[in-house]
Structure 1
Amino acid sequence: MTTTTGPLLTASGLHIAFPGRRGAARARAVDGVDLDIAPGEIVALVGESGCGKTTLARSLLGLVPPTGGQVTFAGQALDYSGRALKSYRKRVQLILQDPSGSLNPRHTVYDAVAEGLRIHGYRGDEQAAVAGALSRAGLRPPERFFLRYPHELSGGQRQRVVIAGALVLEPELLVADEPVASLDASVRGEILALLLSLRDELGLSALVVTHDLGLAWNIADRVAVMYLGRIVETGAVEQVLTAPQHPYTQALLSVLPEADGEPVVLTGEPPDPSRIPGGCRFHARCQILASGEAERAGVAGACRTEELPVLAGGSAEQVACHWAAARGKGAGRKAD
């Protein structure tokens, strides 16, 4: 485990752009993100499909080199050379949402979990390491699962095998992309409880990528809400989800079953990341602007024309919104 006293992982000014088709403008999938994850902290990265959260997560894993900014881990800048990345990926492991797609149907559970050890040239007792990982993932007694195949397991058991395959390398950070989206409701709570217990027992950090604010409430210490390539609100999960300041966060929360009041139906789809609008990037869909509240607060013009600053990556509560700033609760100055 790392002994760093600062953030375990930091993204600083991260930009990721992809070439446009047939001469079109580059798609700015991640358009200026600062994000810290502390040792032992679980951060939920939340937003609609297409907001850039999966691209950001893949970059933090070293799978997508940034076009600007950098990623640091335990105080060291991420090196994208082959040998350095191999070492890094032993310390940072990915858990995907679909366990069936993550597991080779022709490999036994034992081989699936041992694969990472073999890739990284593990020289210890392979069987003991596999058994320990399966046991920590809640598959006990582990020997009972060694020779079973994925099709012989339930969905929850398959996800536990995927988690065991990550744990066997003794990582310091897990990146979980929609880790319970494909599971039955009855099993989701068990997997979330497992991830929390792993944090408590092993000191693991985790970035949980999800569209589900209810999941964030149940598992995260801190939440970062992402829209069109940028984090627009961040802070302690209790603060952000009980008193959201950004209209986008308010809209996402309003559709949860337990939410009070009428749900906010956002108009249209998120803009094309190759044509990000000026001003606040949410203004074309913003219910506060549409209702006249922003006009009454004297910020409607700023919403349409003045760009907002990139939020800092620390743990403080922050929001990038001219309307929230007018109410004394957000960052609304024009970006430098």
Structure 2
Amino acid sequence: MKDAETDTVRGGPAPDGALDEAGHGARDLGFSASEGSGPGAGGEAAPLLSAERVKVVFPGRRGDAEARAVDGVDLDVRPGEIVALVGESGCGKTTLARSLLGLVTPTAGRVTFDGRPLEYASRALKAYRRRAQLVLQDPSGSLNPRHTVYEAVAEGLRIHGHAGDEQAAVADALSRAGLRPPERFFLRHPHELSGGQRQRVVIAGALVLEPELIVADEPVASLDASVRGEILALLLRLRDELGLSALIVTHDLGLAWNIADRVAVMYLGRIVETGDVERVLTAPRHPYTRALLSVLPESETEPVVLTGEPPDPSRVPGGCRFHARCPVLASGEAERAGVADACRTKDLPVLPGSGPAAVACHWAEAVGAEGS
């Protein structure tokens, strides 16, 4: 079943009108989200959402050490800005996103929204979640199979005591999400829709409350390649039309390449590189970012195969937390730069939540200092 409306990623369609099998294909045509004119592009407004030294620690089982899922993170999202939070599975990015929405209470640090610290009383969280909405990865799991599309989208209005015209609000949200005419979808059930249409219903359920921020956790991971570009283009259009801010949580740097204004690369509970997406992804400084980029289909460099698995968050290594898998350290480049010992023993600072590009890497800092 074809989606009701076809969008293309900003600047034009990918080859053959779709992204490739991995969901990429925009930047090689010479355009990018960061080149757009959305409110977040190039602005220096005060953050709408901000994490300040946030830590989330989970207790160990049967005497095991605590798991430091998020281990000191600063991260800002400005009004109208799309930020991609990128990293492997298990790096802590989903836990960080849930803490930003008040679904997980930080062990330390704080989250602020619109300049005010997030409060965790139920009434305060209810008010906050009207302004900040979550879009989950799997639309099939997000939608009750017994509910119609209308009921799914109207649910948020009913929870929050919407006093206006419910039907008009639902129709407007479905229309904005690309399901037109909206009345045609009111009485349908999730099994009657395509995967892309179900994801649009989930997005409409978030939009119906007119939020200022959307946190989308792997929003296209479960979709066919032919539909991914449409959903990414929809998110870009919502940013441009509504001034909507978004935090996109993903393992895929190719997705960040297509949609984000800024990118934050996360490894083992920390942000290791951050900055404008164009700068970070065309001139990555951290060996981990380089490794993630090297395996994209568009990459012209030899793929970097990292040895081993990410360390257990209950056993975070000393020094740079990436050093056990770092190809720069293994190849002797860090030794030649005089930072091998620091890589193994010296911790790195928490990177700023916004501002210029920044990297948490002893070798990158040493090489940068030599070249300056």
Fold conserved between structures, TM > 0.5? yes
Is residue 94 of structure 2 the alignment partner of residue 54 of structure 1?
A: yes
What are the within-5 Å matches in structure 2 for residues 253-332 of structure 1?
253-328=293-368
Q: Does 1:230 align with 2:257?
A: no
Q: 1:198 to 1:22 in 2, by over 3 A?
A: same
| Candidates 133, 137, 151, aligned match of 1:93 | 133
Distance (Å, rounded) in 2 between the aligned partners of 1:107 and 1:329: 59
In structure 2, distance between residues paired with 1:269 and 1:316: 30
1:171 aligns to 2:211 (yes or no):
yes
Deviation (angstroms), 1:261 = 2.3
Match of 1:8 among 48, 57, 82: 48
Residue in 1 that maps onto 2:190: 150
With the length of structure 2 as denominator, give the TM-score of the two structures: 0.87
Find the aligned partners of 1:103 and 1:221 in 2 and give their Cα distance.
30
Q: Does 1:137 align with 2:177?
A: yes
Name the aligned partner's letter for residue 304 of structure 1: R
User: Structure 2 unaligned runs (5+)?
Assistant: 1-43
Tell me if structure 2 keeps the 8 A contact 1:245–1:329. no
What do the CA deviations read for 1:261-314 (whole angstroms, capped 9, x no partner)?
210000111000000000000000000000000001110000000000000111
2:186 matches 1:160: no
Q: Which residue of 2 aligns with 1:191?
A: 231
Report SS of the residue matched to 1:328: helix
The answer to whether the Cα contact below 8 Å between 1:232 and 1:311 also exists between their aligned partners in 2 is yes
Distance 2:183 2:238 in 1: 21
CA distance in 2, matches of 1:245, 1:262: 16
User: Shift in Å at residue 23 of structure 1?
Assistant: 1.0
Structure 1 distance, partners of 2:354, 2:207, is 27
Shift of 1:5: 4.6
1:325 partner amino acid: E
For residue 329 of structure 1, report the CA deviation from its aligned partner.
6.2
CA contact (8 A) 1:221 1:236 kept: yes
Moved over 2 A (4+): none
Residue identity in the other structure for 1:259:
S
Contact 1:46 1:225 in 2 (8 A): yes
Partner of 2:167: 127
- CA offset digits 1:63-100 (Å, max 9, x no partner): 00000000000000000000000000010000011000
Q: Any gaps of 5 or more consecutive residues in structure 1? A: 331-336
Cα-Cα RMSD: 1.1
Name the TM-score, length of structure 1 as normaliser.
0.96
**What SS does structure 2 have at the residue aligned with 1:234?**
strand
Call closer, same or farther: CA 1:158–1:9 in 2, change over 3 Å.
Answer: same
Residues 71-90 of structure 1: pairs in structure 2 closer than 5 A? 71-90=111-130
Report the CA distance between 1:316 and its aligned residue.
1.2
Indicate if the aligned counterparts of 1:116 and 1:168 stay in contact, CA closer than 8 A.
yes
Match 2:254 to one of 173, 196, 214:
214
CA distance in 1, matches of 2:238, 2:68: 35
SS in 2 for 1:133: helix
Residues 10 and 36 in structure 1, CA contact (< 8 A), matched pair in contact too? yes
- 3-state SS, counterpart of residue 263 of structure 2: strand
Matched, 1:37 2:54: no
Q: Structure 1: which amino acid aligns with 2:318?
A: G
Q: Does 1:27 align with 2:73?
A: no
* AA partner of residue 22 (structure 1): R
Q: Give distance in 1, aligned partners of 2:349 and 2:224.
A: 40
Contact 1:234–1:317 (Cα < 8 Å) also in 2: yes
**1:315 deviation in Å?**
2.7
The letter of the residue matching 2:107 is T
The amino acid across from 2:351 in the alignment is: L
Partner of 2:56: helix, strand, or coil? strand
